[in-house]
A and B are shown apart, each in its own frame.
Chain A
Amino acid sequence: MSAISACEKVDGFTRKSVRKAQRQRVGQGSSQFAVNSSRPSAPEISALPQLKDASSTEQHELFVQKLQQCCVMFDFYDTVTDLKSKETKRAALGELVDHVSTNRGVLLEPVYPEITTMVSTNIFRTLPPSDNPDFDPEEDEPTLEASWPHMQLVYEFFLRFLENPDFQPSTAKRYIDQKFVLQLLQLFDSEDPREREFLKTILHRIYGKFLGLRACVRKQINNIFLRYIYETEHFNGVAELLEILGSIINGFALPLKAEHKQFLTKILIPLHTAKGLALFHAQLAYCVVQFIEKDPALTEVVVRGLLKFWPKTCSQKEVMFLGEIEEILDVIEPTQFKKIQEPLFKQISKCVASAHFQVAERALYFWNNEYILSLIEENNAEILPIMFGNLYRISKEHWNQTIVALVYNVLKTLMEMNSKLFDELTASYKDDRQREKKKEQEREELWRKLDELRLQERTAIQNNRHEIQFTYNNNKKNRQDKDENTAAAAVTDRAESDTWAK
């Protein structure tokens, strides 16, 4: 969103070196303090007595006081002011963490709202704009949250609270509600990996303990993913959310609900198209394989989906796709395999013939996998003809010697599986190529004729133009009494001439 500098505009390239230089900016603001920009600095807070020294009757009161004290917010971009108060709050937060993790019987009903208020005040905020407008999570260092010294303790405290044996979801659900969860999910976009790690564990606990929120959590995650896929292509927490989903999918009851299947086909599969796939592919593949293991009948839609979104130009992604296909093949049922073998092996055959040796190599490694090999052997009559052409060609002309060697091995394996078919294919190889060439010529001829026709039509139409216009105008007149808006007709006329102008 930041302005592009003039020197970058000259040739349209943004270079890392330029961007890196921009990052050395000082005094970045935080949205958390937006409303307070004109406020006087935070009120000074002074240390309360220690919780562990208080008598059990006073303890509850003191606990609440400390929670309230921790609602005072400090500006961590300003490193000079409020030093003492910041330290007081840090110590108080530390005590709160200890208090809920070591003591039993401290979670009385009145503290629930106090706790959620303190947590919300501290962690819920509009995330600041990224320091680096073209932040590349694979290459750039993330911007870390400045107020982490406090925030870490708040997250820690909230987690201990959720994990406390006395924790009562039935009481907490009044405060930890849909709105709370929505705000929590928005924080997953944080650039700070430490924050996302905490959020992941916390969301997982919430999902486990609040049955009533489960559908809502899933729905909101879906919305985040859909926005990521189709609108912004930017969200830092995709991997973390997928990790949570991985364990959620594990717990789905059988038969799978339509909602869950839709999640697989409409969200998980399209997620493969994202630019940043490399950052969460492992987690994504895990989710996908989980689904197939739950319900093998889903294999076909998954594989066809992956084939639909198969990368066209990005070899790095292609290697990832091949990896995922191998994971799927590892768990595939032989009956399912038969359903997808044809389209799948057409793609694998293309990959084997890829000029990028890593892609070719990754695809050829399938032949080292014993289970896959057994599937191929079982269905060699179908697979061999699909693979043969490319393997044969590549064995003669691939630039990379490793690939050529691997291809020879594969050809040898295939020959051993079905030597009769192999010989037939070798014999007919030339004829097949010829036939393909002939077909190609026929196509060209067809299109040439069609184009000629088009030219003729155009001249014919130019001659007929007036006639058509005339009939059309007549039609229009007949309708005109109903026609409130003649402007629309004028538009039509123009559209018509545009069509033929091209």
Chain B
Amino acid sequence: MAGADSDDSLYPIAVLIDELRNEDVQLRLNSIKKLSTIALALGVERTRTELLPFLTDTIYDEDEVLLALAEQLGNFTMLVGGPEYVHCLLPPLESLATVEETVVRDKAVESLRKISHEHSPVDLEVHFEPLVKRLASGDWFTSRTSACGLFSVCYPRVSSTVKAEIRQHFRTLCSDDTPMVRRAAASKLGEFAKVLELEYVKSDIISLFTALASDEQDSVRLLAVEAGVSIATLLPQEDLEALVMPTLRQAAEDKSWRVRYMVADKFSDLQKAVGPEITKNDLVPAFQNLLKDCEAEVRAAAANKVKEFCENLPEDSRETIIMTHILPCVKELVSDTNQHVKSALASVIMGLSTILGKDNTIEHLLPLFLAQLKDECPEVRLNIISNLDCVNEVIGIRQLSQSLLPAIVELAEDAKWRVRLAIIEYMPLLAGQLGVEFFDEKLNSLCMAWLVDHVYAIREAATGNLMKLVEKFGAEWAQNTIVPKVLGMANDPNYLHRMTTLFCINALSEVCGQEITTKHMLPVVFKMSNDQVANVRFNVAKSLQKIGPVLDSNCLQTEVKPVLEKLASDQDMDVKYFAQEAISVLSLA
């Protein structure tokens, strides 16, 4: 193969290994990251016989180096001679899979999983599966944890005797003495169940699931929840009640809030996995309890799922369930004591209106929206405003506009600039939905006020906002409403505001078109080229470069060029630089 014919004497392995042993960690790390280059230089044969044994035996190193090594080896198949030799990569990866540092181990497992697919079924049984067994019966917990992630990749492609052994090993790890291993097993239980034959899912997996879900440590129990969801998708409907539901019900009422949080967090998946009947009978009351949980963390997680849960309810009874069971809980959450709960709810509550339709929305949801729009926490208000589009489709935004306005105004003037920034981002959306008249009357002045905000990020966002508004409302609107105000700022005593004029022109020239740009904006830009502040002058040069493409060539030659030439001989070196740059970009030289 390629590489074998390269001049070996040029790259004796000793030199390369010296690089891998360099005293400086950074250099070692660089060398390891180029391990594939080293392997290429050595050729496949020597990579197998010299490089890999070296890596397996002598590397005791910083975790960072080991991590890079573990990653490299996952892509090494061709460098050792293709799939028939891929098993040569197993020894170094095996020792990396026993390292203490979690990231290294995880990466080694990831690489092992990757190359497992490149093993032929025979190699898998001869080389790969014994490695998994060795790891599974290792002394120290690290190797057993790593083993948990490898069962599912080899199980489907080995003989039935070996399959039985694998199942036995997995079972042993599920009742391991150390919680670390039980956690690893619990987190891989769902994945393992998916590759098992249905009979073994029923006979083996269920009992493991039940045991892990009642582990003495909540960190293990909570991982079993996710496995339960995966298992439920595998089983036929008629077995669910007997095999998984008792355990899941118990999890939803676990005494540890972490477990209940997990149930809330996985609720939509769970709902899909168990189907409509169990949802109606079991999940609805469970969901109500989670929405009323005593820990805010759990309530917030459940509140996040309200919309998805309602959407996925069986259609025949959806509305009744929402109106009689879910909505009362939602109403309580609107005035929850915890702001995270309220803002989680606010981010999804608007979605209910499409499900419930116009009349119910007006009667039941609207009061809640309005209450949240007045919430003391800005995040809650923002979340409502950011989702206005859902309501707009159902009842039209007019219903809300009276309450919307004070909320917007308050957020627009919030003391935290991050809040102001967030509301600016929703302005184009709001403008589109409220219509041009409402906007001109109520919101236009806000948008202009942001242009003179004392925080640069806000002024910058406000500029971008103007551009989006013009895209929505058209050039004519721009000429009448915003261009005069923007240009007016060119005479402001504060040079930062004068520069904002230039930034606005940069943003607006293209959407406003040639006529407005030439007729109204350009003269102002020219005038500013005489500004006493150098920053303004070089921004004039930058602006001219930016709006040049919008202008016609005559104008460029006769008007723009002289101005730029004058700036190019400015006494300030930055002004000169940008003027020259503009001249060359616009090809005016």
What chain B residues lie within 8 Å of A5 (beta carbons)?
343, 379
| CA of A128 to CA of B261, assembled, Å | 12
**How far is it, in angstroms, between the C-alpha of A460 and the C-alpha of B43 when the chains are bound?**
13
Find A453's partner among B6, B260, B292 (CB 8 Å cutoff).
Answer: B6
Q: Does A475 lie at the interface of the complex (its beta carbon under 8 Å from any beta carbon of B)?
A: yes
* Nearest B-chain residue to A450, judged by Cβ: B37
Instruction: Determine the distance from Cα of A500 to Cα of B156 in the docked complex, in whole angstroms.
Output: 28
Residues of A within 8 A of B416 (CB): 7
Residue B473 CB within 8 A of the other chain = no
Closest-CB distance, A217 to chain B (whole angstroms): 15
Stretch in contact with the other chain, from B250-258, B355-363, B438-446: B250-258
B77 touches A488 (CB 8 A): no
Among B1, B117, B157, B294, point to the contact of A468 (Cβ < 8 A): B1
B140 and A266 contacting across the interface, CB-CB below 8 Å: yes
Verify B117–A7 contact, CB threshold 8 A. no
The reply to whether A231 and B102 contact each other, CB–CB distance below 8 Å, is yes
Q: Does B121 contact A (CB under 8 A)?
A: yes
Given contacts A6-B382, A126-B218, A227-B219, contact A460 B102 (CB under 8 A): no
Check A34/B257 contact, CB under 8 A, given A10-B421, A449-B10. yes
A28 to B336 CA separation, bound complex (whole angstroms): 11
Closest residue of chain A to B64, judged by CB? A312
Chain A min CB distance to B91 (Å)? 20
Encoded as 1 (CB less than 8 Å from any B CB) or 0, chain A from 318 to 351 comes to 0000000000000000000000000000100000
Q: Which of B401-431 contact A (CB under 8 A)?
A: 416, 418-419, 421-422
Closest A residue by C-beta to B27? A443
Q: Which of A2, A35, A231, A346 contacts B297 (CB 8 A)?
A: A2
| Nearest CB in chain A: distance from B516 CB, A | 32
The reply to whether the CB of A40 lies closer than 8 angstroms to some CB of chain B is: no
Q: Which among A204-212, A356-364, A426-434, A491-499 touches the partner chain? A: A491-499
A244 proximal to B (CB < 8 A): no
Complex-state Cα separation, A484 to B83, whole angstroms: 16
Q: Which of B78, B258, B382 is the most central at the interface, judged by chain A CB atoms within 10 Å of its CB? A: B78
CA distance A29 to B300 in the complex (A): 13
Residues A491 and B117 in contact, CB atoms below 8 Å apart: yes
A residues less than 8 Å from B261 (CB atoms): 1
Instruction: Specify which of A2, A33, A182, A223 is in contact with B294 (CB 8 Å cutoff).
Output: A33
Chain B residues with Cβ under 8 A from A33's Cβ?
294
Secondary structure type dominating chain B contacts: helix
CB <8 Å contact, A31 and B297: no
B340 near A3: Cβ-Cβ < 8 Å: yes
Contacts of B300 in A (CB 8 A): 2-3
Which residue from chain A places its CB closest to the CB of B301 in the assembled complex? A1
Q: CA of A457 to CA of B2 in the docked complex: distance in angstroms?
A: 7
A379 to B19, CA, bound (A): 30
Contact yes or no, B255 A34, CB < 8 A = yes
B219/A31 in contact, CB under 8 A: no
Q: Is A482 an interface residue (CB 8 A)?
A: yes
A-side contacts of B84, CB under 8 Å: 475
A371 shortest CB reach to chain B, Å? 29
Number of interface residues of B (CB under 8 A): 76
Chain B, range 171-209, C-beta contacts under 8 Å to A: 178-180, 183
Smallest Cβ distance from B38 to chain A, in angstroms? Answer: 7
With both beta carbons as reference points, the residue of chain A lying nearest to B343 in the complex is identified as: A3
State how many angstroms separate the Cβ of A146 from the closest Cβ of chain B.
13
Q: Is the CB of B62 within 8 A of A308?
A: yes
A58 interfacial contact with B, CB 8 Å: no
B296 touches A22 (CB 8 A): no
B216 interfacial by beta-carbon distance below 8 Å: yes
Contacts of B41 in A (CB 8 A): 450, 453
**Binary per-residue interface labels of chain A (458-502) against chain B in the complex, 1 for a CB within 8 Å, 0 otherwise:** 001100100010001001000100111100100110011011101
Is B180 within 8 A of A453, CB to CB?
A: no
Q: Counting CB contacts under 8 A, is A446 at the interface?
A: yes
**How many angstroms from the CA of A491 to the CA of B115 in the assembled complex?**
10
B54 contacts the other chain (CB 8 A): no
Cβ-defined contact, A34 with B121, below 8 A: no
Give the interface size class of chain A. Answer: 35 or more
A residues within 8 A CB of B219?
Answer: 227
Q: Which residues of A contact B77 (CB under 8 A)?
A: 492, 495-496, 499
> Which residues from B are CB-within-8-Å of A11?
418
Contacting pair A446 B15 (CB below 8 A): yes
Tell me whether A454 is interfacial, beta carbon within 8 Å: yes
Residue of A7, A226, A454, A472 near B40 (CB, 8 A) is: A454
A129 at the interface (CB under 8 A from B): yes
User: Does B117 lie within 8 Å of A454, measured CB to CB?
Assistant: no
Distance, CA A7 to CA B331, complexed state (A)? 25
- A26 in the interface, Cβ–Cβ < 8 Å? yes
Are B120 and A454 neighbours in the complex by a CB distance under 8 Å?
A: no
A residues less than 8 Å from B141 (CB atoms): 226
- What 1/0 mask marks residues of chain B from 363 to 405 whose CB sits below 8 Å from any chain A CB? 0000000000000001100110010000000000000000000
A25 at the interface (CB under 8 A from B): yes
A420 CA / B419 CA spacing, docked (Å): 69
Q: B38 touching A450 by the CB < 8 A rule?
A: yes
Determine if B118 is an interface residue (Cβ-Cβ < 8 Å): yes
Instruction: List residues of B (213-265) whose CB comes within 8 Å of A's CBs.
Output: 216, 218-219, 253, 255-258, 260-261
Q: Is B134 an interface residue (CB 8 A)?
A: no
B337 touches A27 (CB 8 A): yes
With a CB–CB cut-off of 8 A, which chain B residues contact A22?
339
Report yes or no: B19 in contact with A443, Cβ–Cβ below 8 A: yes
* B294 in contact with A34 (CB, 8 Å): yes
Q: Provided the pairs A230-B102, A482-B121, A483-B121 are in contact, do residues A128 and B75 lie with their beta carbons within 8 angstroms?
A: no
Contacts of B419 in A (CB 8 A): 7
Who on chain A is nearest to B383 by CB?
A: A6
Which residues 514-547 of B sit at the A interface, judged by CB distance below 8 A?
none
- Report yes or no: A8 in contact with B3, Cβ–Cβ below 8 A: no
How far, in whole Å, are A464 and B178 apart by their CA atoms in the complex? 51
Q: Are B62 and A495 in contact (CB under 8 A)?
A: no
Pick from A25, A29, A447, A495: contact of B339, CB below 8 A: A25
CB-CB < 8 A to B257: which residues of A? Answer: 31, 34, 126, 128-129
Residues in chain B near residue A2, CB distance under 8 A:
296-297, 300, 340
- Does B456 make an interface contact (CB < 8 A)? no
Q: Would A495 and B344 count as touching, CB distance under 8 A?
A: no
Distance from B357 Cβ to chain A, minimum over Cβ atoms (Å) = 29
Rounded to whole Å, the gap between the CB of A71 and the closest CB of chain B is: 17
CB-defined contacts of A495 to chain B, threshold 8 Å: 77, 114, 117-118
Q: A257 contacts the other chain (Cβ, under 8 Å)?
A: no
Select one of A10, A128, A443, A449 contacting B295, CB under 8 A: A128
- B485 in contact (CB, < 8 A): no
A223: min CB distance to chain B, Å: 6
B6, B180, B297: which contacts A227 (Cβ < 8 A)?
B180
Q: Any chain B CB within 8 A of the CB of A134?
A: no
**B residues neighboring A (CB under 8 Å):** 1-3, 6, 10-11, 15, 19, 23, 27, 34, 36-38, 40-41, 62, 75, 77-79, 82-84, 100-102, 114, 117-122, 140-141, 156-157, 178-180, 183, 216, 218-219, 253, 255-258, 260-261, 292-297, 300, 304, 337-340, 343-344, 378-379, 382-383, 386, 416, 418-419, 421-422
Chain A residues engaging chain B, CB cutoff 8 angstroms? 1-3, 5-8, 10-11, 22, 25-31, 33-35, 37, 126, 128-129, 179, 182, 223, 226-227, 230-231, 266, 270, 308, 346, 443, 446-447, 449-451, 453-454, 457, 460-461, 464, 468, 472, 475, 479, 482-485, 488, 491-492, 495-496, 498-500, 502
Extra A-B contacts (10), CB below 8 Å, given A26-B337, A126-B258, A227-B219: A6-B382, A6-B386, A10-B422, A128-B295, A129-B297, A451-B37, A453-B37, A454-B37, A457-B3, A495-B117
Shortest beta-carbon contacts, A-B, top 8: A29-B294, A7-B418, A126-B256, A491-B117, A5-B379, A2-B340, A27-B337, A230-B102
A-B contact pairs, 23 of them (CB 8 A): A3-B300, A3-B344, A5-B379, A10-B422, A22-B339, A26-B337, A29-B294, A34-B260, A35-B255, A126-B257, A129-B257, A129-B296, A227-B180, A231-B102, A446-B19, A451-B37, A468-B82, A472-B82, A485-B156, A488-B121, A491-B117, A491-B118, A495-B77
